[in-house]
């Protein structure tokens, strides 16, 4: 069982800053999930295996992961060690367009040197959340975030601090890419098995082994998140339902409530204030 004994947090719409410390023994995967926002995860203390979009990174103190929207991920911290991390979820809307274009070309992993200003900025952000008002903290940290992203742009040129991920399964990677590019067609798993000349049982076994989720659950999760993005930008829920490939609105409604803990109508009514997928206490 995992105990979250410390939390410094700032939440503002779809922006979240959290400095979390968990103690072990930790004997389970942290919840595998996706979200619409970008995410930075900085490991302050501990060691963890981190699964990100079919690649696994062995993280140690001082490592940082950049997670793209809709990338499937989860951490498996080493047992009996403190797992302390700073996690920032941020929507694209708060990043200047020029910087956002550069952000999309950055790698996922950064091994930060001891004297990295990024470390200082991240830890300073925790102090800001503790000592500033909510409005002032949000203003300060969103500006700090842009400085961090600019630092990452130049940091990536130093190969000394790079780390190659362990690709979990090449065929699985190709399947995940295919799902991203053919989400509606993949409603029928037979389209996947025929395209890759694989059996349904192999597909189910491989997803369960590496992603701890069934192929259908994974596809539905992606569909619901895509529909959430459509609804948040003004698409009516009934239209979003059809656009992501659901023919039955009741099924769409049920899955939306299951994954996001809110209804499509509530999302549409409160668009502009999306929430993250559930189980935030264990995620990341």
- CA-based max dimension of the chain: 58
> Is a pLDDT exceeding 80 seen at residue 157?
no
Closest C-alpha among 270, 241, 273 to residue 254:
241
- Domain residue extents for the chain: 3-161, 169-269
Return the CATH superfamily for domain 3-161.
Jelly Rolls (2.60.120.10)
pLDDT per residue over 18-68, tens digit each?
999 987 665 455 778 999 999 999 999 999 999 998 888 999 999 999 999
Closest C-alpha among 118, 155, 120, 122 to residue 141:
122
The answer to whether 3-161 and 169-269 have equal CATH topology is no
Question: Residue for token digits 């190709």?
Answer: 174
Cβ 107 vs Cβ 149: under 8 Å: no
Q: Which fold has domain 169-269?
A: Arc Repressor Mutant, subunit A (1.10.10)
Of 93-97, 99-103, 166-170, 248-252, the least confident? 166-170
Element of type H or E holding 165: none
> Is a pLDDT exceeding 90 seen at residue 117?
yes
Average pLDDT, integer, range 206-216:
91
Confidence of residue 252 (pLDDT cuts 50, 70, 90): very high
Q: What is the pLDDT of residue 13?
A: 85
> What proportion of the chain, given as a percentage, has pLDDT over 70?
88
Q: Beta-carbon neighbour count of residue 272 at 10 Å?
A: 10
At residue 186, the 3 state secondary structure works out as helix
At residue 274, the 3 state secondary structure works out as coil
Instruction: Output the six-digit token pair for 240.
Output: 């979003």
- pTM for this predicted structure: 0.84
Strand order across the beta sheet in which 48-52 lies = 73-77, 48-52, 55-59, 166-167
> Is a pLDDT exceeding 50 seen at residue 277?
no
> Is a pLDDT exceeding 80 seen at residue 273?
no
Cβ 8 vs Cβ 268: under 8 Å: no
Q: What is the pLDDT of residue 53?
A: 85
Cβ 180 vs Cβ 53: under 8 Å: no
Residue 158: alpha-carbon gap to chain centroid: 25
Q: What is the pLDDT of residue 64?
A: 95
């Amino acid at each position: 069982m995992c105990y979250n004994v410390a939390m410094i947090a700032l939440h503002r719409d779809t922006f979240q800053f959290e400095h979390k410390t968990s103690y072990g023994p930790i004997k389970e995967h942290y919840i595998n999930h996706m979200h619409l926002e970008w995410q930075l995860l900085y490991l302050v203390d501990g060691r963890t295996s981190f699964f990100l979009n079919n690649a696994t990174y062995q993280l140690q103190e001082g490592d940082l992961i950049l997670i793209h929207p809709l990338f499937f991920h989860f951490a498996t911290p080493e047992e009996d060690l403190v797992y302390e991390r700073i996690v920032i979820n941020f929507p694209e809307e708060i990043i200047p367009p020029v910087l956002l274009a550069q952000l999309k070309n950055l790698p996922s992993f950064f091994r930060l040197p001891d004297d990295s200003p990024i470390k200082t900025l991240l830890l300073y952000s925790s102090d800001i959340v503790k000592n500033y008002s909510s409005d002032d903290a949000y203003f300060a940290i969103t500006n700090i975030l842009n400085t961090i992203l600019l630092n990452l742009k130049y940091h990536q040129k130093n190969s000394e601090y790079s780390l190659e991920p362990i690709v979990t399964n090449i065929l699985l990677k190709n399947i995940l890419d295919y799902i991203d590019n053919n989400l509606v067609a993949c409603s029928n798993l037979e389209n996947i098995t025929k395209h890759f000349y694989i059996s349904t049982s192999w597909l189910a076994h491989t997803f369960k082994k590496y992603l701890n989720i069934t192929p259908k659950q994974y596809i539905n999760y992606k569909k619901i998140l895509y529909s959430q993005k459509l609804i948040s930008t003004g698409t009516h829920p009934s239209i979003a339902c059809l656009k992501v490939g659901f023919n039955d609105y009741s099924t769409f409604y049920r899955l939306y409530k299951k994954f996001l803990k809110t209804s499509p109508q509530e999302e549409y009514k409160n668009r502009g204030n999306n929430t993250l997928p559930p189980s935030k206490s264990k995620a990341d």
